[in-house]
A and B are shown apart, each in its own frame.
Chain A
Amino acid sequence: MDIELLHLIVILGIFLIGAAYFKIPIGVAMMLSAFGGIFIYSAISAPDQFLQIPRHLVDGSFAYIEPMLTIVAAMIFMRFFADSGALESFTVLAVEKLYRVPTVLLIIFMIIIMFPAMITGSSVTSIVSAGALVAPTLLALGIPKTKTAGIVVCGSIFGMIAPPINLPVMIIADTVDMPYTGFTLPLLILTVPLAIFCVLFLGRRYVGKIDIEDVKKKIPMAIKDEVNTFVYIPILVLIVLLVIVNVFPTWLPPIGLPLVFLIPALIQAFLGRKFNIVTSARNGVRTALPVMAVLVGIGMFIQAMTLTGVRGYIVYNILALGQVTWGQHPILLYLGSLTLIPAVGAFSPLGSASVFGGPYVLVLLFLNEIVVAAALSMFTGVGDFIPPSVVALHSTHIVELDGYGKILKTLIVPIAVTIVVTLAYMILMGMYW
């Protein structure tokens, strides 16, 4: 038996006992498992690492410093957007204008959710901004909380995979010296049908016949008299900044996503309904805290897996599966792509792309590498459906549910369809593209 298997058992064991038995928060359980894993590794194999434990824990979590700042800034913006009345106003406007064409309405909402992730390459950006913006409208239309959260999760993930910016593909391409060109059409073919299917599957039955009078009773129509169109200026500023920063980067010095959210937040403070800025900002930070804690935990967890050799153990064993073939097809490797890549993707889609992407593309060279990289990026994205991903955990805040279990249940069919379609896409399009 490889010693790495023991380390894997130790790390996962501490995490599961902490999270499931003692019910400690997931982020803290991961920190403890990382600490325990490195401690045991130091005791067994590398005594010189004892003094390095604090550095390793900080080093690991530092990978997420920027996503953490982005999340907290986006939460402050969304809190301001809600407290100024802009969110209620948007809900009223969207329902009034689009209730006659429910299918189109749902598809438009899906595109809105996907948009921030499409241009930033980050599913987190979508769920904390457009997801939080659209969710109240979906709820107002009568879509249950779990399905609403499901739509938002799907939109954020498919937005991350859709062109023009797909960070997992960029990372995979870089590891095999492949330029990021020629991906637009393959990624559109992969993501658009899945996105339309998922939003209609989850929401269409609830918006078949929208009784506008009934809906109006549920939504705060009075907001129309309270705020005017200027209240939307910050969201326009946000869209403009996102586009400039990601599409025309030379127009502005690099200001970073946190500032991209804080600038419209500052403008929002002076528009719409009056609200207490300090209280709103504090509430925004409070909402972001649990997700930030999970990110810190994930960072430490991955560092522990890398240091102890568990990462290599997992990657090697997956690649070894490639030896079992049916014709030229490594069937067990395919199985690995739809299980372990998402499993690691749940901790970090980009980390999963970085670890598995290069080796996978090289083993599957008999398929078109662009199609393979596109499909692998989708498998890393599937990880975002699974806790403790930020997208999964944050979706519960958006619809104010206590746990993710019920949301995950409603997502079983979309996840299964995504996996099957992506696998078929990788094999069939990979052979003939």
Chain B
Amino acid sequence: MKKMMNGIKKGFSKFIDGIKTRWQNADFSPKAFKTSVLKHKLSLFYLFLSLAVTLVTGIQYHRFRHTDPVFVTGPGVVDIQRLSDYYEPLEGTYGDADIYVLGTQNPDEPSILVLGGVHPNEPASQVAAVVLMENLIVEHGTVYIILETNRSAFSLSHPQEATPEWYSIETPFGERRFKYGSRGTNPVDQWPVPEVYIHQSGQTLSGVDTRNLNRAFPGTENGTYTELVAHAIAEFVRQKDIIITLDLHEASPEYAVNNALIYHEKVRATGLASRTYLNLELFWGIWDDRFAPIKLEISPRNLRGLTHRELGDYTNTLPFLAETSNASQGRIRGAMSESLIVDGYDKFYERATALGILEVDHSEAVPLDERVARHIQTFKELINAYNSLQGTWTGDLEYYSRGLFDIEYNDLNFTTVYDRGIGAFLLDPEDS
């Protein structure tokens, strides 16, 4: 050991001596400088070019990460809490998201948690949550809404997906801007990423999924940053004894589970999934020209880490996950633009529909208005189903002991959002 330490010391002093000698022998005259510059002019050009690109993109990235979209606190919001209120280690970190509270907060009344922005590259998820937060008035029961569930993933663009950083929604008072983020947590908050992600259940996934919040549930206190956020959400659900959790998502049109409602098997005993499905089917019966048919799927037991599996297994809540079809996150899409996100028209998806490759219909545009409207109607029918089963359901009654939700929607439903556009339901930040 002593020999090794002497070796290290000797090597280090030799290294320092080498630098000193070079410094002493260096020629700092203007002539020598000019010669050196001319000799290395190409290298210097590349060096300055790289520095310039680094500087420009670095400033742009810094601005993007530290600029938040404006969320206008709706008239029904009674409190804004944070995830760190339920899991302290998140305090002061980028992932500490706001929880908007609407309603009475009475633990003896029913409660629902809406998760928006688990995947920030699925815009209808966040926008639907924002519309609900800015419009609902809850008289009985409590609605908790998280708009940026994986907040860190809103702070970067996904490499090689060429997405815009922001997209805008037209409103009567001008534009409201939202961030289009990545599917996974920012490497700035969680790095390095292993080649393989082994979920706490033992499931093996690609290392990329280490940063995917919807593969990290139920989370763990000793885990990665993403697992800490998942743990905080699970902890919130446990502490508040949330009855229903609705996790809003979008899927690429070629994805098999699309325009779907996925639920944990324990929901079956409550009748809630079937009744919600039935309500949405009836809705489709009336509005079949606008409202695509809904699929009802049960959470696969061997697909771990997702909200509809783990929140069902590890908390008392009844978890649901809703999907709408989003052309801007698919692999068949053409050029990427804000218009594709908001207007939802893509010629390759139109052709793919004609070929019968897709299970969802993209023969026409599927705009953000329609996708958000669909999520809002799903929320509404879930609440309607819960209320309608009170006093009539004879199965598992544990979840029906806290009375009815009483929610004022202020004209918010699928058809109004579809017809008037999301912008009509977004509040003016100036009036906030």
Contacts and interface: CB of A to CB of B under 8 A. Distances in A.
A24 B300 CA distance: 52
Interface stretch (B33-41, B188-196, B231-239, B380-388): B188-196
> Which secondary structure dominates chain B's binding surface?
loop
B83 to A, nearest CB: 22
Contacts of B54: 58
A387 interface: no
Contacts of B330: 312
Given A179-B302, A313-B348, A249 B57 contact: no
Interface in A130-168: 164-165, 167
A315 B331 contact: yes
B57 A58 contact: yes
B373 interface: no
Contact of B203 (A165, A180, A258): A180
A170 B205 contact: yes
Contacts of B348: 309, 312-313, 315-316
A257 B336 contact: no
Nearest to B348: A316
Given A254-B224, A270-B4, A167 B206 contact: yes
A249 B159 contact: no
Contacts of A427: none
Given A319-B355, A320-B355, A246 B194 contact: yes
B157 A171 contact: no
A96 interface: no
B162 A181 contact: no
Interface string B39-70: 00000000000000110110011000000000
B333 A354 contact: no
A51 B198 CA distance: 40
B335 to A, nearest CB: 4
A171 B332 contact: no
Contacts, number: 167
A307 B15 contact: no
A56 B330 CA distance: 19
Interface string A355-384: 110110011000000000000000000000
Interface string B162-193: 10110000000000000000000001000111
Interface in A44-102: 45-46, 52, 54-63, 65-66
Interface stretch (A298-306, A388-396, A399-407): A298-306
B248 to A, nearest CB: 17
Interface string A197-213: 00000000000000000
A351 interface: yes
Contact residues of A: prevailing secondary structure: helix
B292 interface: no
A245 B192 CA distance: 12
B206 A171 contact: yes
Given A354-B331, A358-B331, A306 B256 contact: no
A249 B348 CA distance: 42
A177 B192 contact: no
Contacts of A122: 195
B129 to A, nearest CB: 23
Contacts of B159: 59-63, 299, 303
A174 interface: yes
B258 to A, nearest CB: 11
A311 interface: yes
A388 B140 CA distance: 63
B352 interface: yes
A120 interface: yes
A118 B334 CA distance: 35
A255 interface: yes
Contact of B335 (A120, A170, A309): A309
A121 interface: yes
Nearest to A175: B255
A382 B347 CA distance: 31
A258 B349 CA distance: 41
Contacts of A356: 331
Query: Which of B54, B191, B333, B351 has the largest count of A CB atoms less than 10 A from its CB?
Result: B333
Contacts of B61: 55
B352 A316 contact: yes
B209 interface: yes
A66 B204 contact: no
A256 interface: yes
A174 B205 contact: yes
Nearest to B164: A52
B334 A355 contact: no
B431 to A, nearest CB: 29
Interface in B189-219: 191-196, 198, 203-210
A148 to B, nearest CB: 27
A306 B336 contact: yes
B400 to A, nearest CB: 31
Chain A interface residue count: which class?
35 or more
Contacts of A246: 194-196
A306 B206 contact: no
Interface in B1-28: 4, 7, 11, 15
A313 B194 contact: no
A45 B191 CA distance: 37
B160 interface: yes
A239 interface: no
B160 A309 contact: no
B161 A306 contact: yes
Contacts of B106: none
Given A174-B209, A315-B332, A63 B303 contact: no
A164 B204 CA distance: 10
Given A319-B357, A358-B255, A270 B334 contact: no
B111 to A, nearest CB: 29
A277 interface: yes
B224 A177 contact: no
Given A306-B336, A307-B336, A359 B53 contact: no
A1 interface: no
A167 B191 CA distance: 19
Given A121-B196, A313-B348, A363 B160 contact: no
A66 B192 contact: yes
Interface in B141-166: 157, 159-162, 164-165
B195 A308 contact: no
Contacts of A165: 195-196, 204
Contacts of A307: 162, 335-336
A278 interface: yes
A322 interface: yes
A246 B195 CA distance: 7
A177 B309 CA distance: 13
Contacts of A54: 53, 56-57, 60
B416 interface: no
A261 interface: no
Contact of B206 (A57, A170, A308): A170
B334 A313 contact: yes
B401 interface: no
B164 to A, nearest CB: 8
B280 interface: no
A245 B194 contact: yes
A311 B160 CA distance: 11
A277 B254 contact: no
Contact of A312 (B187, B195, B332): B332
A362 B335 contact: no
B203 A319 contact: no
7 contacts: A171-B206, A174-B206, A176-B255, A254-B194, A256-B192, A320-B355, A322-B355
List the 3 shortest-distance A-B pairs measured between CB atoms, nearest first. Answer: A256-B192, A309-B334, A309-B335
Given A63-B159, A121-B206, 7 more contacts: A46-B337, A55-B157, A165-B196, A180-B203, A245-B195, A309-B336, A316-B352
